[in-house]
Amino acid sequence: MIQANDPARPPLRVSCIQFEPQFGAVAANIAQASDLIRAAVAEGSRLIVLPELASTGYVFESDAEAAALAEPVPDGPTARAWTALAAELGVHIVAGIAERGDGVLYNAAVIVGPQGYIGTYRKAHLWDQENVFFAKGDLGFPVFDTALGKIGIAICYDGWFPETFRQLALAGAEIVCIPTNWVPMPDQPAGEAAMANTLHRAAAHANGVFIACADRVGTERGQPFEGQSLIIGPKGWPLAGPASRDRTETLSAVVDLDEAGRKDLNAFNSLLRDRRTDIYG
């Protein structure tokens, strides 16, 4: 396995798949996403990020509906489908999923690779009606040490909290994958870029990490989504995107994850070393 900070580690092509899942159409959503993943891999991508709740859709209307669509991880059909595809194609996939674990539902994401299931992240910060159907994540902010490098995961509203990215950066994350379903913010002016673009660019800069955001598009049960997926470098500048607001598309960038390990800004300043933990309270 190539370890993080190995000088022989080659650049990595990352892709964010932006598409429109259809609510409740699990098999069709998996099939569409799989076709898009295959196309990205054909172009050389080795790390693929799918949106939040990519297999089920987002706008649940009842506990029964949520329970019927949630699946166990890693033994449910959706997690098995992503695991089989990653093994077949020799890639890593991060995908949002509705997880059923020990009778509790979570808005979660799985990470799988060529060797199989790697791990799960459960969304820590729940947005709006998610609080009705899902429990708050209880796994913290794990960093997965993979053959590609050290990968962190956050989901959508997690990105509104600076602590999310600081925890991941302190734990050694080089790239943070964001399955997301961004929606317009209150009082957002018409035509204004997604607030998430600003927040995630700032987080990448402040923590010296790559961030890959895969949003969805379309309107589901009256709820519009923002699109505008993007991939950001550790200095906060976009490497790809933002994508469109309303079209299925794949956003890709070639990244050198070793750049995430270099957090110095100049001869005097380093993003993590300069933290004043003695006065933060």
Cis, bond preceding 242 (omega within 30 deg of 0): yes
Residue 235 designated active-site: no
SS3 state of residue 82:
helix
Nearest-5° Cα angle at 108, 1 to 123? 105
Output the pLDDT for position 9. Answer: 80
Domain membership of residue 4 (yes or no) is no
Which residues does 102 contact at the CB level (< 8 Å), separation at least 6?
none
Q: Find out whether 18 and 216 touch, Cβ atoms under 8 Å.
A: yes
Q: Are strands 223-224 and 219-220 parallel, antiparallel or unpaired?
A: antiparallel
Q: What is the pLDDT of residue 191?
A: 84
280 inside domain: no
Tell me what pLDDT residue 7 has.
59
Catalytic residue chosen out of the listed positions 16, 20, 99, 123: 123
Peptide bond into 162 cis (omega under 30): no
**33 located within any domain:** yes
Residue 275 resides in a domain: no
Cβ atoms within 10 A of the Cβ of 29, count? 23
- Could you state, in chain order, the average pLDDT of each consecutive group of 10 residues for the chain (281 residues)? 59 97 98 98 98 98 96 97 98 98 95 98 97 97 97 98 97 98 92 93 97 98 97 97 96 96 91 93 78
Asked whether residue 273 is domain-assigned, the answer is: no
Radius of gyration for the alpha carbons in the chain, expressed in angstroms and rounded: 18
Residue 123 annotated to the active site = yes
- Which structure tokens are listed for 257? 């994850």
Nearest to 37 by CA among 119, 99, 92: 92
47 belongs to a structural domain: yes
Q: Determine contact, residues 125/161, Cβ cutoff 8 Å.
A: yes
**What is the 3-state secondary structure of 224-252?**
ECCCCCEEECCCCCEEECCCCCCCCEEEE
Choice among 52, 99, 174, 226 that is catalytic: 52
The domain spanning residue 231 has which CATH number? 3.60.110.10
Domain contains 38: yes
Beta strand ranges found along the chain (DSSP E): 12-18, 47-49, 92-101, 104-113, 116-122, 143-145, 150-153, 175-179, 210-214, 219-220, 223-224, 230-232, 238-240, 249-255
Catalytic residue among 16, 156, 177, 213: 156
pLDDT of 1: 43
211 within some domain: yes
Active-site annotation holds for 156: yes
Tokens of 267: 């001869």
**Which pLDDT score, from 0 to 100, does residue 5 have?**
52
Q: pTM of the predicted model, to two decimals? A: 0.95
Which domain, by its residues, includes 214?
12-261
How many distinct structural domains can be found in the chain?
Answer: 1
